[in-house]
Amino acid sequence: MTSHDRAAARALDAADPLARFRARFVLGDEPRVYLDGNSLGRLPKETIERLDSTLRKWDADLVGAWAEWIDLPLRVGDLLANAALGGAAGEVVMADSTTVNLYKLAAAALAAREGAIVVDPDEFPTDRYVLEGLARAHDRELRRLGSEPVEGPTAETVRAACAAGPTALVCLSHVSYRSGALCDLRAITAAAHDAHALVLWDVSHSAGVVPVELEEAGADLAVGCSYKYLSGGPGSVAFLYVRRGLQQELRSPVQGWFGQRDQFLMGPSYEPADGVTRYLAGTPPILDLTAAEVGIRLVAEAGIDAIRAKSLSLTTLAIELHDAWLAPLGFSLGTPREPERRGGHVALRHPDAWRIRCALIERASVVPDFRLPDSIRFGFPPLYTNHADVWEAFARLRRLVKKGEHLAFSEALARVT
Amino acid sequence: MTSHDRAAARALDAADPLARFRARFVLGDEPRVYLDGNSLGRLPKETIERLDSTLRKWDADLVGAWAEWIDLPLRVGDLLANAALGGAAGEVVMADSTTVNLYKLAAAALAAREGAIVVDPDEFPTDRYVLEGLARAHDRELRRLGSEPVEGPTAETVRAACAAGPTALVCLSHVSYRSGALCDLRAITAAAHDAHALVLWDVSHSAGVVPVELEEAGADLAVGCSYKYLSGGPGSVAFLYVRRGLQQELRSPVQGWFGQRDQFLMGPSYEPADGVTRYLAGTPPILDLTAAEVGIRLVAEAGIDAIRAKSLSLTTLAIELHDAWLAPLGFSLGTPREPERRGGHVALRHPDAWRIRCALIERASVVPDFRLPDSIRFGFPPLYTNHADVWEAFARLRRLVKKGEHLAFSEALARVT
């Protein structure tokens, strides 16, 4: 793209093979441009109907409805594995929160392998906190990668960290929540395996927007949430992946009845079920599973490769507009430039990022996210974001900063979600 | 009650101060009698509206809705503490599943106290399994109570178990899932405290039907689910209670970002928040919290003492009808006779219990639960179950067994939920 006018963005939308998916979401003809779907994805229209069906089933079949519901964690997990994670049937299950799943799988890995935990200092906070607690409980070293903040972890930095001593587990985000840097899943997994470590990927920021290809990379473990690009709704049920060859070797530390062999015999002692089922814990949340399934089916229907192609087109436009319009205003790109090193969102850095974020929301009806210390994060979920949205948001951003409208806002950080 | 005719049951319903609550639930004018609300509670009408509001809020406010949602785990927890658990504000939080909450609190207790875990061999399976895993991980003895299967744990059996050696934790159900026996919360808590042990109560089968009075009993810890008497929906979010005086001493093993002090500063290392917040882990499920809140508000509105009074009236009728009609057909009571020793459900034992349960559902449109080895479990949630339901269900049961209709059913156990 050479021209930066609105017509050029509209032309890209006119040629978009996924354009029809925008109408599958509830979004009014509003001035607001929502670019935080990588924090909370939009509401699919079908979710409303499907939740209504689930309520009617609850009413009509009562406890008998469990005959159908009980396999939902596995059935929806299979859908997700196939649609977005590059896993096989029986390798993914919907369960708990990302935090609890990370805890279960990291603890399982530590029980099976000696050595340190390797983690990126820029890893998403809940992941760092969980690993810090497990390191203390299991008396393991928590070894931090020496990553560059924008470029993120590489096979080289992982190899170097693993070389520092025996390593049990490498735990990283596939796409960095802050910078949007995309890790080389295959190369980093191979580097960790060379050091006899297991690898646990947090794919919260890639599931549904970047093909994850866990099996092809030989990845051992993964967790992620369903409420970003998968549009499962606020706090909806998370998922976990365990490579088939590892499923019988590891055990969840949380020995719940949904992970028990012959669960309803309610036998005297715990014996983990075969397969990925053993990583379930308590009773699965059916409303959440209903909503998550709708979003996952939309991704499956659109196809993850088409989604990735559109995502790259959207982030490329954003970077071009940044370079042309925003860099002269003091912004710098907080995301890798190379398409193959980017996930679905773009971070712009600015010394006044917090005030600009506030002004964008209140004066310009553009909703981005903010991440400490100085990043405004723009997410572009391809199923309902178009090029005109990117153009409009960045045009408003340019106008606002040129006029200095953000200077009227307080520098004090409010609570940010 | 001396007469066992239908008119006597109807007279009790006519005098029922909670009768108006039945219309607050979705239930058709159907022949089915549902007596398994202690497995999955019925759907409140308001849940449909409230979920619709939450979906509209998701659509309208998108990520900004978190400003209101973020405190829901505490706000709904406070409601529940006050309505049904005898806890103060800031002692209860909605989170995760019962299984995961039990894991978190039992692990926290074991990190703070030396000694064995005391558990009832008849404890609900997921609780036993979780404790078995924790006992192995923490290298603790798992010491089993010598309880009588119908009467359940008593202060004497707990005292005897604690006397066998140092005890870190006593973990019991307030109401037994199988027999419906109600523990003496205060006496057992005192017995455990005399042995310097902490007590963790699973109140899944008492929350919303029996006043729990955790604070008055000096109870340390509790967990429970919202999908039984609290009508929160299938697999809805569970809750946990930590006595205020203990909150700062213990730590959750799952160091999640929702339990972190100054969560959105996303600081470099974990520092648990003050109060019960520190026992949260991942992002809270907003659809589930919406549904759970509706059910909890209904309990608050009806009042737990009025609910308990009606519950005792319903279970008394069930026991009288058992004695008059069913004992002569080979049934025996699997629940304590004394009102103060019973929760909200009644178990009938019969050598042919499994076949009778199948026939009841398929031939008589009565839905009970079945629990190995020989119990048919009838639950009577007082907000929507009336005395005529009890009479009708037991009349159909008597007719069916008298005619031997159950003999046509297979003895082989199918999967039971």
- Give A104-158 as a 3 state SS string: HHHHHHHHHCCCEEEECCCCCHHHHHHHHHHHHHCCCCEEECCCECCCECCHHHH
Nearest to B198 by CA among B256, B152, B243: B243
pLDDT for the residue B264:
83
Band (pLDDT 50/70/90 cuts) for residue A412 is: confident
Q: Which residue out of A33, A144, A230, A287 would a mutagenesis test of the B interface target, given it has the greatest number of B Cβ atoms within 10 Å?
A: A287
ipTM value: 0.97
Token pair for residue A374?
Answer: 């100085």
Residue type for position A294: V
> Considering chain B, what percentage of its residues have pLDDT values greater than 90?
93
Token pair for residue A179?
Answer: 């910078």
**Omega prior to B373 cis, within 30 of 0:** yes
Mean pLDDT value of segment A257-267:
90
Looking at A112-126, A323-337, B16-30, which range is the least confident one? B16-30
Q: Which residue out of B255, B371, B374 would a mutagenesis test of the A interface target, given it has the greatest number of A Cβ atoms within 10 Å?
A: B255
CA atoms within 13 A on the CB side of A368: 30
Q: Does A276 have pLDDT greater than 60? A: yes
Q: Which residue out of A27, A47, A59 would a mutagenesis test of the B interface target, given it has the greatest number of B Cβ atoms within 10 Å?
A: A59
Closest CA of chain A from B47, distance in Å: 9
Token pair for residue A269?
Answer: 């002692």
Residue A417 in any domain: the answer is no
Nearest by CB: B254 against A130, A237, A255: A130
Is the CB of residue B200 less than 8 Å from the CB of residue B223?
A: yes
Partners of B119 in the β-ladder: B144, B171
Q: Does A415 have pLDDT greater than 90? A: no
Mean pLDDT value of segment B392-411:
96
Active site residue B227: yes
- The CA angle B258-B263-B264, to the nearest 5 degrees, is 125
Token pair for residue B345?
Answer: 């459900």
> Considering chain B, what percentage of its residues have pLDDT values greater than 70?
98
Q: Which helix (H) or strand (E) holds B294?
A: helix B286-302
Active site residue B270: no
Q: Which helix (H) or strand (E) holds A196?
A: none
Band (pLDDT 50/70/90 cuts) for residue B288 is: very high
Residue A136 in any domain: the answer is yes
Band (pLDDT 50/70/90 cuts) for residue B266 is: confident
From chain B, the residues in CB contact with A36 under 8 A are: 62-63
Q: CATH no. for residue B353? A: 3.90.1150.10
Nearest to A238 by CA among A363, A122, A126: A126
pLDDT for the residue B412:
80
Residue A308 in any domain: the answer is yes
Mean pLDDT value of segment B301-307:
98
Residue A416 in any domain: the answer is no
Distance (Å, whole) CA B381 – CA B227: 12
pLDDT for the residue A221:
98
Asked if A258's CB is within 8 angstroms of B133's CB, the reply is no
Nearest to B294 by CA among B31, B3, B24, B35: B24
Q: Does B233 have pLDDT greater than 60? A: yes
Q: Which helix (H) or strand (E) holds B235?
A: none
Query: Given A241, A269, A301, which residue is the final one in a domain?
Result: A301
Cβ neighbour number for residue A261 with a 10 Å cutoff:
13
Q: Does B169 have pLDDT greater than 90? A: yes
- The CA angle A182-A104-B292, to the nearest 5 degrees, is 100
Clarify whether residues B297 and B158 are in a common domain: yes
Is the CB of residue A168 less than 8 Å from the CB of residue A109?
A: yes
Active site residue A244: no
Nearest by CB: A67 against B48, B367, B417: B417
Residue B413 in any domain: the answer is no
User: Residue B134 — φ and ψ, nearest 5°?
Assistant: -70, -35
Q: Which helix (H) or strand (E) holds A379?
A: strand A375-379
Q: Which helix (H) or strand (E) holds A210?
A: none
Query: Given A301, A334, A355, which residue is the final one in a domain?
Result: A301
Clarify whether residues A23 and A76 are in a common domain: no
Is the CB of residue A355 less than 8 Å from the CB of residue A411?
A: yes
Is the CB of residue A378 less than 8 Å from the CB of residue A348?
A: yes
Q: Does B273 have pLDDT greater than 70? A: yes
Active site residue B202: yes
Mean pLDDT value of segment A122-144:
96
Mean pLDDT value of segment A303-322:
98
Q: Does B18 have pLDDT greater than 80? A: yes
Closest CA of chain B from A1, distance in Å: 31
Residue B339 in any domain: the answer is yes
Q: CATH no. for residue A220? A: 3.40.640.10
Distance (Å, whole) CA B29 – CA A185: 57
Closest CA of chain A from B257, distance in Å: 5
Clarify whether residues B257 and B340 are in a common domain: no
Distance (Å, whole) CA B137 – CA A125: 26
Clarify whether residues B333 and B249 are in a common domain: no
Is the CB of residue A343 less than 8 Å from the CB of residue A258?
A: no
Residue with the bigger pLDDT between B154 and B263: it is: B154
Distance (Å, whole) CA A380 – CA A201: 22
Residue with the bigger pLDDT between A4 and B354: it is: B354
Asked if B39's CB is within 8 angstroms of A133's CB, the reply is no
Q: Does B70 have pLDDT greater than 60? A: yes
Residue range of the domain that includes A87? 48-301
Looking at A27-36, A80-89, B1-10, which range is the least confident one? B1-10
Nearest to B321 by CA among B256, B366, B266: B366
Set B120, B127, B202, B220: catalytic member: B202
Set A24, A42, A113, A228: catalytic member: A228
Closest CA of chain A from B196, distance in Å: 24
Is the CB of residue A141 less than 8 Å from the CB of residue A165?
A: yes
- Whole-model pTM: value is 0.97
DSSP string, B169-216: EEEEESB-TTT-BBP-HHHHHHHHHHTT-EEEEE-TTTTTTS---HHH
Looking at A27-31, B85-89, B102-106, B329-333, which range is the least confident one? A27-31
Residue with the bigger pLDDT between A1 and A117: it is: A117
Clarify whether residues B146 and B16 are in a common domain: no
Helix or strand or coil: residue B146? coil
Partners of A224 in the β-ladder: A239
Distance (Å, whole) CA A370 – CA A359: 12
From the CA atom positions of chain A, what is the Rg in Å? 22
Residue B212 in any domain: the answer is yes
Helix axes B286-302, B72-80, angle to 10 degrees: 20
Is the CB of residue B202 less than 8 Å from the CB of residue B129?
A: no
Clarify whether residues B327 and B373 are in a common domain: yes
Distance (Å, whole) CA B171 – CA B68: 35
From chain A, the residues in CB contact with B270 under 8 A are: 128-129, 132-133
pLDDT in tens, B91-123: 999 999 999 999 999 999 999 999 999 999 999
pLDDT for the residue B72:
98
Set B34, B177, B227, B258: catalytic member: B227
pLDDT for the residue A2:
55
Helix or strand or coil: residue B119? strand
Closest residue in chain A to residue B47, using alpha carbons only: A55
Backbone CA torsion sign across A62, A66, A67, A73 = positive
Is the CB of residue A242 less than 8 Å from the CB of residue A276?
A: yes
Distance (Å, whole) CA B65 – CA B108: 32
Active site residue A337: no
Band (pLDDT 50/70/90 cuts) for residue A416 is: low
Distance (Å, whole) CA A280 – CA A255: 8
Mean pLDDT value of segment A337-346:
97
Is the CB of residue B208 less than 8 Å from the CB of residue B227?
A: no
Mean pLDDT value of segment B325-339:
98
Bridge pairing between strands B33-34 and B366-367: parallel
Distance (Å, whole) CA B212 – CA A202: 40
Cβ neighbour number for residue A341 with a 10 Å cutoff:
18
Query: Given B267, B301, B335, which residue is the final one in a domain?
Result: B301
pLDDT in tens, A146-178: 889 899 999 999 999 999 999 999 999 999 999
Set A24, A140, A310, A377: catalytic member: A377
Q: Does A1 have pLDDT greater than 70? A: no
pLDDT for the residue B219:
98
Asked if B96's CB is within 8 angstroms of A96's CB, the reply is yes
Cβ neighbour number for residue A308 with a 10 Å cutoff:
18
**Omega prior to A17 cis, within 30 of 0:** no
Band (pLDDT 50/70/90 cuts) for residue A410 is: confident
Q: Does B305 have pLDDT greater than 80? A: yes
Closest residue in chain A to residue B54, using alpha carbons only: A234
pLDDT for the residue B265:
84
Q: Does A417 have pLDDT greater than 60? A: no
Clarify whether residues B328 and B296 are in a common domain: no
Closest CA of chain A from B70, distance in Å: 9
Average pLDDT in chain A: 96
Helix or strand or coil: residue B25? strand
Asked if A285's CB is within 8 angstroms of B255's CB, the reply is no
Clarify whether residues B252 and B145 are in a common domain: yes
User: Could you give the strand order of the β-sheet that contains B369-371, starting from the edge strand earlier in sequence?
Assistant: B332-333, B345-349, B375-379, B369-371
Clarify whether residues A114 and A231 are in a common domain: yes
Clarify whether residues B308 and B297 are in a common domain: no
Quote the number of domains for chain A.
2
Nearest to A282 by CA among B153, B209, B281: B281
Mean pLDDT value of segment B393-398:
98
Mean pLDDT value of segment A28-38:
89
Mean pLDDT value of segment A368-388:
96
Closest CA of chain A from B38, distance in Å: 10
Q: Does B2 have pLDDT greater than 60? A: no
Clarify whether residues A147 and A288 are in a common domain: yes
Nearest by CB: B417 against A264, A371, A416: A264
Is the CB of residue A206 less than 8 Å from the CB of residue A175?
A: yes
Asked if B283's CB is within 8 angstroms of A125's CB, the reply is no
Mean pLDDT value of segment A334-352:
97
B341 CB contacts (<8 Å, ≥6 apart)? B151, B181, B182
B73 CB contacts (<8 Å, ≥6 apart)? B93, B94, B95, B237, B258, B280, B284, B289
pLDDT in tens, B196-210: 999 999 999 999 999
Asked if B48's CB is within 8 angstroms of A55's CB, the reply is yes
Asked if B233's CB is within 8 angstroms of A287's CB, the reply is yes
> Considering chain A, what percentage of its residues have pLDDT values greater than 70?
98
Residue A413 in any domain: the answer is no
Class of residue B8 by CB neighbours under 10 A (exposed 0-12, middle 13-18, buried 19+): middle
Average pLDDT in chain B: 96
Clarify whether residues B346 and B313 are in a common domain: yes
Distance (Å, whole) CA B201 – CA B224: 8
Residue A138 to residues A84, A107, A158, A161, B100, Cα–Cα distance (Å): 33, 9, 22, 19, 19
Q: Does A29 have pLDDT greater than 60? A: yes
Closest residue in chain B to residue A96, using alpha carbons only: B96
Residue with the bigger pLDDT between B268 and A131: it is: A131
